[in-house]
Amino acid sequence: MEMPPTETSNIAQGAYHPDADADDTSKPPSYHGEPASSAEDKIIKIDDAIESIGMGGFQRRVLIAAGLCFTADATEIMLLSFLSLTLQSEWNLTATQTANMTACVFAGSLVGTLTLGYLGDHYGRRPAFLMSCAIISVFGVLTAFATGYESLLGIRFMVGFGVGGLTVPFDIFAEFLPTTHRGKHLLVIEYFWTMGSLMTPLFAYLTLETSWRFFVILCAVPCIISGLMGMCLVPESPRWLISVGRDEQALKVVRLVSFIFFSKKKNRSFPLQRSPFGSFYFVTGRQQKRMG
């Protein structure tokens, strides 16, 4: 995603100065334990910065991208009840074999949660988000090309592995939300799961009599769309970037969100009244503790 142009600034794991003079960018204020350059300058944390931006079109884009992961979660889990009965008849499977088809997905989900959750905490929310979508999309489509019971078990295990990482899109959406909007919109995202649970029987009704292979491909479509939206519209979480000390990248992300938001709301004043590209600094977690 193309980032909006930013001026060179002295980011010292510092503070956000919303009242700085927009015309004077030659002497940006800094934070090295030194006082700010103006008596009117103030320091706010990353939570306050996101709160100042407010709720807008950017968060709604992330809502759709993350919400479609919840839809994919529902479709990939609920298709088992239809697929197992169909293959039990077509492949002459025993009751134990049919049950194993469901069990392997949940086993994969257990491993995926432990693995992709760890990656999301240590290597970034966005990579874990995109990796989960890629795994579900690829192996969801590969399910249609399974040639036997054993290959199907392995493929569905990997689908479950990807499903285990779908907690990460929830995290990245929550971390872009202002605290005043978090409760409402974290409830709204759950409706995407309901949508997926309604879509799966519809897909089954339309396709199972013709081909179960086409049915499983349709069920992978929400995750494919989510992954494409994530690649194009969802940057890394600035809260996570701040937590690992990557302040300059967090600055770029928040400026991007501000740019998208203020391009339609010119009357707002973040981060500067006359420009969305003013001097902007953060307080890291370590400095937050020191500053009280």
pLDDT attached to residue 44? 59
**pLDDT tens profile 255-280:** 888 776 655 544 443 443 333 334 44
Closest CA to 45 of 19, 13, 16, 20: 16
pLDDT attached to residue 161? 96
**pLDDT tens profile 65-93:** 999 999 999 999 999 999 999 999 899 99
pLDDT attached to residue 83? 92
Residue 137's identity, in one-letter code, is S
pTM as predicted: 0.74
pLDDT attached to residue 39? 36
3-state SS class at 274 = coil
Q: Is the pLDDT of residue 285 over 70?
A: no
pLDDT attached to residue 287? 44
DSSP state of 12: S
Mean pLDDT for all residues in the chain: 77
Min mean pLDDT across 85-99, 171-185, 247-261, 273-287 is at 273-287
Confidence label for 50 from pLDDT (cuts 50, 70 and 90) = confident
